[in-house]
Amino acid sequence: MVVKRICALFMTVVMLVMLVSCVDYDIEPQIFGPEGLIESAEIEEWRLLAEQGDVEVQVKMAEIYLLFEDDSQVVYWFRRAAEQGDSMAQHNLGVYYANGIMGIVQNYEQAAYWYKKAANQGFDDSQYNLGILFFQGNGVEQNYEQGMYWFKRAAEQGQVSAQFDLGTIFFNGLNGVQSYEQAMYWFIKAAEQGYSDATNNVGWMYQHGWGVEQSYEQAAYWYRKALAQGNAFAQGNLSRLPAQYR
């Protein structure tokens, strides 16, 4: 079957690539960066730089507080960085407002505000999430054209969920934009990135000749590929092909 869905909010929060090692509960957690252990004195130096307006260090401080699970400080430093134009910080604030996490009360208007800030700078996850808000009418007036616009902006940058959802939209003809050719195009784009539902759907399109010349051989190829990716539908779809292609 073709998976028909619009993804739920894409909760992509960029997390810190660091390790935490706690020797004992009475000992302050040790933080390791790319060059080894980060000393407390070094963190204090960063704090001073962050307070003076260094955006990169403000983001770094937010990431450190993510390790300590200090939500208020995480939000504080991401907000400081976001207000200075850091797109990742803007995106993260959008995620926090959209989902009502990190001690923030859910507010779709604020989510849309920060997503748009980041989206206008080319941050593909924010472009995708902003598109979702326009489709749902959360925090913005519902507008399918704007939803499609932001999905395409994200998909063209390789945002795989946007690629898959565009395929789904074109397949189902949401808002009168049905095109099997476009559906196939975007399913293949997502499939090439290993998105198993898209891989399965490419097989389905080949099986039925939707948007492409019918080919059981190609259908079997894509179903097997989806099956190898652990797709739940691929085995059943493969079993329904003529025996010589299974």
The tens digit of pLDDT for each residue in 57-82 reads 999 999 988 988 999 999 999 999 99
pLDDT digits (tens, 9 = 90+) for 26-59: 334 444 444 444 556 678 888 889 989 999 999 9
Instruction: Measure Cα distances from 54 to 41, 43, 62, 78 in Å.
Output: 18, 14, 13, 12
- pTM to 2 decimal places: 0.82
Q: Give domain limits for the chain.
A: 1-157, 179-246
How far apart are the C-alpha atoms of 55 and 81, rounded to whole Å? 5
Superfamily (CATH H level) for 1-157: Tetratricopeptide repeat domain (1.25.40.10)
Measured distance CA(73)–CA(58) in Å, rounded: 10
List the chain residues with pLDDT less than 70: 1-41
